[in-house]
């Protein structure tokens, strides 16, 4: 109820802010993170406005880190769980992107917005109603649906990925799958990392023996009036492999 009231308040005040010149002023000063964040508040649940503002719904720190990561990988291969404005944000940075979503109506609405980006492929994978889901979403509205096909859609795409974005349903299972499909030196982005139901899965990755660097970001987030968290995992296996080769070469 509070969320609905907040969204209505922001949408209702957006026209007034535009007439007063506030939106234009914030856009002119978008090089300031605070101004960019304030402008984004008026774009909540408005994918068109987020696309216009060139924003993904992650922490601003995570956006900066991913932007820098992709600048060094002009032909990056990306898989995304949970399509949206972030899909266009990624495509604009040259990524070859497959984005999967469980919501057919949302995919239909999104397709015209991504038509300019031939490297971006949207896929709809419908969860199946089941009394005993093999992979269950933590969202209350989807407890009786099996997301097995959704989680495993990544295996229908050949090769490994430079970046895997997890911002949809069944995120803990998606995180397990993502680790198997990530290139050495690749990155996993896990959004809304502060939610209690994700803590165990995130902790397991952060503390495992496999070479994975954790970058936990928390702070200003597009559209949200409160700080949120986005966690990045970087597969450092390539660095460790190079270090091993160097040590062996030196010792030889």
- Say how far apart CA 195 and CA 83 lie, in whole Å: 20
- Report, as an integer, the average pLDDT of 196-222: 89
Count Cα atoms within 13 angstroms, Cβ side, for 197.
12
Tell me what the mean pLDDT of segment 231-244 comes to.
69
- Enter the tokens of residue 212: 């994975």
Of the pLDDT bands very low, low, confident and very high (cuts 50, 70, 90), residue 251 is: very low
Tell me what pLDDT residue 30 has: 93
What pLDDT does residue 146 have? Answer: 92
Q: Report d(CA 170, CA 4) in Å as an integer.
A: 24
Query: How many whole angstroms separate alpha carbon 170 and alpha carbon 195?
Result: 13
Mean pLDDT of the chain: 90
Q: According to the model, what pLDDT value does residue 246 have?
A: 46
87 pLDDT above the threshold of 70: yes
The residue to which tokens 């090089």 are assigned: 31
| Strand runs labelled E in the chain | 77-81, 96-101, 120-124, 128-129, 145-146, 161-166, 182-191, 212-219, 228-235
Strand order in the sheet with 228-235: 120-124, 96-101, 77-81, 161-166, 182-191, 228-235, 212-219
**Could you tell me how many residues make up the chain?**
252
Name the band, by pLDDT with cuts 50, 70 and 90, for residue 218.
very high
Q: Determine phi and psi for 103, rounding to 5 degrees.
A: -100, 110
Handedness of CA 92, 36, 20, 45 (dihedral sign): positive
Does residue 247 have a pLDDT over 70? no
Going by pLDDT thresholds of 50, 70 and 90, the confidence category of residue 5 is: confident
Token couple for 34: 């605070």
Q: For residue 185, how far is the Cα from the chain centroid?
A: 18
- Band of pLDDT at residue 182, cut at 50, 70 and 90: very high
Average pLDDT over residues 133-138: 85
Residue pointed to by tokens 């660095």: 239
Classified by CATH at the fold level, domain 47-251 comes out as Rossmann fold (3.40.50)
**pLDDT value for 199:** 92
What does the pLDDT look like over 35-71, one tens digit per residue?
999 999 999 989 999 999 999 999 999 999 999 999 9
Which of 213, 161, 224, 160 minimizes the C-alpha distance to 191?
224
| DSSP-derived secondary structure letter, 142 | G
CA dihedral 166, 167, 168, 172 (to 10 degrees): 50
Written as one string, the DSSP assignment of 177-220 is HHHHTEEEEEEEEEESTTSGGGHHHHHHHHHSSS-EEEEEEEE-
């Amino acid at each position: 109820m509070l969320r609905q009231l907040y969204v209505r308040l922001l949408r209702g005040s957006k026209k007034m802010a535009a007439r007063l010149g506030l939106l234009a002023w914030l856009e002119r000063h978008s090089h300031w993170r605070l101004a960019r964040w304030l402008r984004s508040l008026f774009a909540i649940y408005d994918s068109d406005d987020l696309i216009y503002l060139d924003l993904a719904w992650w922490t601003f720190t995570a956006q900066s880190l991913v932007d820098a990561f992709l600048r060094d990988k002009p032909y990056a291969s990306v898989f995304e769980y949970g399509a949206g404005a972030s899909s266009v944000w990624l495509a604009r940075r040259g990524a070859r992107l497959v984005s999967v979503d469980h919501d057919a109506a949302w995919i239909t609405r999104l397709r015209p917005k991504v038509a300019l980006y031939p490297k971006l492929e949207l896929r709809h994978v419908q969860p199946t109603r089941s009394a005993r889901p093999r992979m269950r979403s933590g969202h209350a509205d989807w407890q009786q649906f099996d997301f097995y096909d959704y989680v495993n859609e990544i295996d229908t795409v050949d090769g490994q990925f430079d970046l895997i974005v997890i911002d949809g349903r069944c995120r803990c299972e998606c995180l397990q799958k993502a680790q198997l499909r990530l290139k050495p030196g690749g990155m996993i982005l896990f959004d809304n990392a502060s939610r209690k139901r994700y803590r165990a899965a995130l902790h397991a990755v952060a503390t495992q023996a496999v070479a994975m660097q954790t970058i936990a970001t928390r702070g200003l987030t597009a559209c949200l009036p409160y700080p949120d968290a986005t966690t990045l995992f970087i597969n450092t296996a390539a660095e460790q492999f190079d270090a091993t080769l160097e040590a062996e070469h030196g010792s030889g």
